[in-house]
Amino acid sequence: MTLAFAKFDPPPAQTLVPAGVSIRRAPGEEIFAQGETVDTVYQLLSGAVRTYRLLGDGRRHVCDFHVPGDVLGLEAGGEHACSAEGMADVILLAIPVATLRRLSAHDPLLGQRLLSIASNGLQRSQNHAAMLARLGAVERVAAFLIDFAQRFDADDEFDLPMTRQDIADYLGLTIHTVSRTLSHLQDQGLIDVRASRRVRLRRQDELLGLCA
Amino acid sequence: MTLAFAKFDPPPAQTLVPAGVSIRRAPGEEIFAQGETVDTVYQLLSGAVRTYRLLGDGRRHVCDFHVPGDVLGLEAGGEHACSAEGMADVILLAIPVATLRRLSAHDPLLGQRLLSIASNGLQRSQNHAAMLARLGAVERVAAFLIDFAQRFDADDEFDLPMTRQDIADYLGLTIHTVSRTLSHLQDQGLIDVRASRRVRLRRQDELLGLCA
DNA sequence: CGTGTGGTTGAAGTGCGTCAAACTGGGTGG
DNA sequence: CCACCCAGTTTGACGCACTTCAACCACACG
């Protein structure tokens, strides 16, 4: 658990609770699945995770991408509304909900912390919904790049841990449109796609201007 | 406050806390506004409320419609991410966040209640996002009608408290598409639009089948 | 009876999806 | 070392669903 921290830089801001065990997952491996009973909550220590839902007819919707420090699986009903998978090698802190409930019964601060995590998730989801409802393809891709850069790296050049299909399913587009839009932004000189997974943001201010 | 309950049937399941004062708002009147500091949380006692965001260029996105019993304004950061307005005459219970914080410090059950409210909101928002990302106009309108009927009324005929523009801004469509889609569903015999605001669901099962 | 707000409907335009094909880089085996 | 393969990606041509533009309609209110 502390070992997991040691080799990464920077370490997650803080662990949710001084409890739980760290687990490891390979890329593409399932962490929890849509419909499963929620008995464990996870905090991502390193790597990157996607959460997604499968619709009735097989269409996929990526709910969010998660970075170290994020808490996953803190959900309302008794069962998970999303599945979660690593997009790279992933280390997580697994915390039984029973433990969480027990601790928060005596620690109002933890309760507030959990509330704040859920509220933050709500806010992210509402941003996401607003984007899907009202922005065009260029605006969506620009918003995605800006958001990703802020959350993962804060640098202006970085590697994307997800495929074009993941991005498309997150943005409500097809891989074709995502690919075309990235090419388009490159033609405009706003970004460099140095390799399919490696991107440099050249005019972050202009990208931001595109996000409405 | 109890007076507010008395004249409505059924009354909201339960009040959040035995505190706060009831306030009244006219249709279209603001309850709180995007960007304002969160100093009060509201529980809707009667009427119907829309929460919405304005994007940079004036486009509007309706985050959700709220029914009696719903809690509004429980948000993460220090400020509201949405504005809230009544769509009809509205009665709300206004609870200072300071009160809420004080009570929840000594009542872990309240903390869990708040967490569950926020998680439910998150789940609704994720459903909403998935719909916006992946469903077509007919599916969106069908999903909206089914959801609304379940939450407001549970009957198969009801009045919509919102305008076509509200629905369009909620579904990520234009009023034209919403109107056309309703006409289309009526032509199929799935619904009756008895007046512009009054709808009857004739084949709820088939509507449900459209929602993927 | 005139005016205004909200809703419906038609015709034309367009942004993204679909279909189809070519490309790229990494891995494997001959 | 090269031939091959394969998943992921890019790009083009075309079609369609939804938007846009433009009327017209319905009902409430002064």
Residue A5 has pLDDT above 50, yes or no: no
The pLDDT value given to residue B5:
40
Instruction: Give the end-to-end CA distance of chain A in Å, rounded to a whole number.
Output: 42
Residue B124 has pLDDT above 80, yes or no: yes
pLDDT, tens digit, for every residue of A155-187? 899 999 999 999 999 999 999 999 999 999 999
Nucleotides of C under 7 A from a protein CB: 6-11, 15-20, 25
- Rounded percentage of chain A residues whose pLDDT exceeds 90: 84
Distance from CA of A178 to the nearest CA of B (A): 14
Over residues A80-101, mean pLDDT:
96
Nearest to A60 by CA among A212, A171, A209: A171
The pLDDT value given to residue B8:
41
Residue B4 has pLDDT above 70, yes or no: no
Residue A12 has pLDDT above 70, yes or no: no
Over residues A20-46, mean pLDDT:
96
The pLDDT value given to residue B82:
96
pLDDT category of residue A9 using cuts at 50, 70 and 90? very low
Closest residue to D19 (CA to C1') is B174
- What is the residue-averaged pLDDT of chain B? 92
pLDDT category of residue A30 using cuts at 50, 70 and 90? very high
Distance from CA of A133 to the nearest CA of B (A): 4
Instruction: Give the end-to-end CA distance of chain B in Å, rounded to a whole number.
Output: 41
Q: Any bridge partners for residue A199, and if so which? A: A158, A193
- Give Cα separations from B87 to A105, A108, B25, B84 (angstroms): 38, 36, 9, 10
Residue B153 has pLDDT above 80, yes or no: no
Residue B116 has pLDDT above 80, yes or no: yes
Distance from CA of B154 to the nearest CA of A (A): 21
Over residues A46-71, mean pLDDT:
96
Residue of A nearest to B73 (CA): A119
Residue A99 has pLDDT above 50, yes or no: yes
The pLDDT value given to residue A13:
59
Query: Which region holds residue B154: left if phi is over 0, alpha if psi is between -120 and 50, else beta?
Result: left
Over residues B129-156, mean pLDDT:
95
pLDDT category of residue A8 using cuts at 50, 70 and 90? very low
The pLDDT value given to residue A93:
97
Question: Which tops the pLDDT comparison, A77 or B180?
Answer: B180
Q: Which of B119, B138, B140 best probes binding to A when mutated, by most A CB atoms within 10 angstroms?
A: B119
Print the SS3 string covering chain B: CHHHHHCCCCCCCCCCCCCCEEEEECCCCEEECCCCECCEEEEEEECCEEEEEECCCCCEEEEEEECCCCEECCCCCCECCCEEEECCCEEEEEEEHHHHHHHHHHCHHHHHHHHHHHHHHHHHHHHHHHHHHHCCHHHHHHHHHHHHHHHHHCCCEEECCCCHHHHHHHHCCCHHHHHHHHHHHHHCCCEEEEECCEEEECCHHHHHHHCC
Phi, psi for B162 (deg, rounded to 5): -110, 160
What does the radius of gyration of chain B's CA atoms come to, in whole angstroms? 18
Do the Cβ atoms of A134 and B59 come within 8 Å? yes
Nearest to A170 by CA among A134, A144, A207, A145: A144
Q: Are A19 and A99 in contact (CB under 8 A)?
A: yes
Residue A2 has pLDDT above 50, yes or no: no
Residue A4 has pLDDT above 80, yes or no: no
Buried b (16+ CB within 10 A) or exposed e, B142-154: bbbbbbbbebbee
Compute, in degrees rounded to 10, the torsion defined by CA atoms B97, B12, B1, B81.
30
Please tell me the distance from the alpha carbon of residue A139 to that of residue A155, in angstroms, as a whole number: 21
The owner of tokens 């806390």 is B17
Q: Which are the contacts of A46, defined by CB distance < 8 A and separation ≥ 6?
A: A4, A8, A68, A89, A90, A91
pLDDT, tens digit, for every residue of B6-48? 334 444 557 888 888 999 999 999 999 999 999 999 999 999 9
Do the Cβ atoms of B108 and A112 come within 8 Å? no
Please tell me the distance from the alpha carbon of residue A108 to that of residue B175, in angstroms, as a whole number: 46
The pLDDT value given to residue B13:
59
The pLDDT value given to residue A54:
97
The pLDDT value given to residue B6:
38
